[in-house]
Chain A
């Protein structure tokens, strides 16, 4: 693997891991505050899975450049993170949280499905592991979208508001990172454009079946993952506080 391809792969793995870490941190804000006990448990499970996936992505990066996953998660500043803006938006209400997780799960499932045959063996192996866990997420969150969309007038209104807010942000999931075309050419990661078409088709069908209207005006459309909303600073301050107080703190 030449240096350019390697650098692009390091950047891509960072983006994949950062998405999972920030989304997991956001969703973990519901722990102990879920609308019902079962959902508190379910979302905590999903969070744990996403953190497991982040560990695998950072681990692949570590094998390439020797970086330490804990350092990356707990000692990088917001401007060094490469997550999409969708995952850093405040958690909002339950409809906002479930819709975001659904949009993300659908993207992730399609990406993983396409990445299973990556020419980079360590990536293909990680994907084959993750894809088995991911299907439980999409099953769960797509059911929630249906339930809220077809539920009461209020649940439908809240979900529609969430969709109007998130639809533009979600498009960033399909914006390639700088150098991504090199990885696509090598068959290391899938091309995002056909995935976006498939995502649009499946998301549109499911959202419309759930009684929602797709926004005509997509709202804010993010571009580069180097930009962030102001919310990333506060979420990182909270997430990193223990590690920055006591760098020797361990998981147990």
Chain B
């Protein structure tokens, strides 16, 4: 009889699942995995959606389930929780730095945005390549729901930013 892994080992295994759309960060440091519970042969994983219409959610859900099964759990339940709503503040500082190195300007701290329906960008987004603040927004909607498109007026390169939510 094989021994099942403990909660910590499950967390470690889940932290090896890359985000399907941004493979330099994993689903744990994204803040998507909220809780892991083990009840005998059963693993219960709680996840929270980043953007509710994100097409990667199906894949993430399947990968969480497959990973827990590969660890030996006979029964795996992946629950979706909405509260508290996911925030980009939950992305770890290390993951934010990796986003920047990957060419995506990381999200800003969310402070002061609560309850504001229309928010114009208060501070310019820093270019992830050259660090210049002389940048302009080209499209508030990018190739995925979580990103916007900018151009750097200094190094002339276009870049994406992770929206602050």
Does A147 make an interface contact (CB < 8 A)? no
Q: How far is the CA of A113 from the CA of B116 in the complex (A)?
A: 10
> Which of B49, B118, B165 has a CB less than 8 Å from the CB of A139?
B118
**Which of chain B's residues have a CB closer than 8 A to the CB of A41?**
139, 141-143
**Which of chain B's residues have a CB closer than 8 A to the CB of A109?**
117
Q: How far is the CA of A17 from the CA of B59 in the complex (A)?
A: 23
0/1 per residue, B120-146, Cβ < 8 Å to A? Answer: 100000000000000000111111010
**Among A42, A56, A136, A139, residue most surrounded by chain B Cβ atoms (within 10 Å):** A136
CB under 8 Å from chain B, chain A span 81-131 = 109, 113, 125-126, 128-130
Q: Are the C-beta atoms of B83 and A133 separated by less than 8 Å?
A: no
Q: Are the C-beta atoms of B118 and A135 separated by less than 8 Å?
A: yes
Does A33 make an interface contact (CB < 8 A)? no
**Which of chain B's residues have a CB closer than 8 A to the CB of A56?**
52, 82
Does B2 make an interface contact (CB < 8 A)? no
Does A51 make an interface contact (CB < 8 A)? yes
Q: Known: A50-B53, A130-B52, A135-B117. Contact between A45 and B165, CB under 8 A? A: no
Does A251 make an interface contact (CB < 8 A)? yes
Closest B residue, CB atoms, query A105: B117
Does A52 make an interface contact (CB < 8 A)? yes
Q: What's the dominant secondary structure at chain B's contact region?
A: loop
Does B33 make an interface contact (CB < 8 A)? no
**Which of chain B's residues have a CB closer than 8 A to the CB of A132?**
85, 165
Q: How far is the CA of A44 from the CA of B144 in the complex (A)?
A: 10
Q: Known: A109-B117, A129-B82, A252-B58. Contact between A136 and B141, CB under 8 A? A: yes
**Among B82, B115, B143, residue most surrounded by chain A Cβ atoms (within 10 Å):** B82
Give the number of residue pairs across the A-B interface with Cβ within 8 Å. Answer: 83
Q: Known: A136-B140, A140-B140. Contact between A52 and B53, CB under 8 A? A: yes
Q: Are the C-beta atoms of A49 and B140 separated by less than 8 Å?
A: no
Q: How far is the CA of A140 from the CA of B148 in the complex (A)?
A: 12
Q: Are the C-beta atoms of A42 and B52 separated by less than 8 Å?
A: no
Q: How far is the CA of A48 from the CA of B86 in the complex (A)?
A: 18
> Which of A133, A136, A139 has a CB less than 8 Å from the CB of B52?
A133
CB under 8 Å from chain A, chain B span 24-72 = 49, 51-55, 58-59
> Which of B58, B82, B83, B119 has a CB less than 8 Å from the CB of A135?
B119
Extra contacts, 11 of them, besides A38-B141, A42-B139, A125-B83 (Cβ < 8 A), are: A41-B139, A44-B141, A49-B51, A49-B145, A52-B51, A55-B53, A125-B82, A129-B52, A133-B51, A133-B52, A135-B116
What would be 16 A-B contacts, judged by CB atoms less than 8 Å apart? Answer: A38-B149, A52-B53, A53-B52, A56-B82, A109-B117, A113-B115, A128-B83, A129-B49, A133-B145, A135-B116, A135-B117, A136-B140, A139-B118, A139-B140, A142-B118, A252-B58
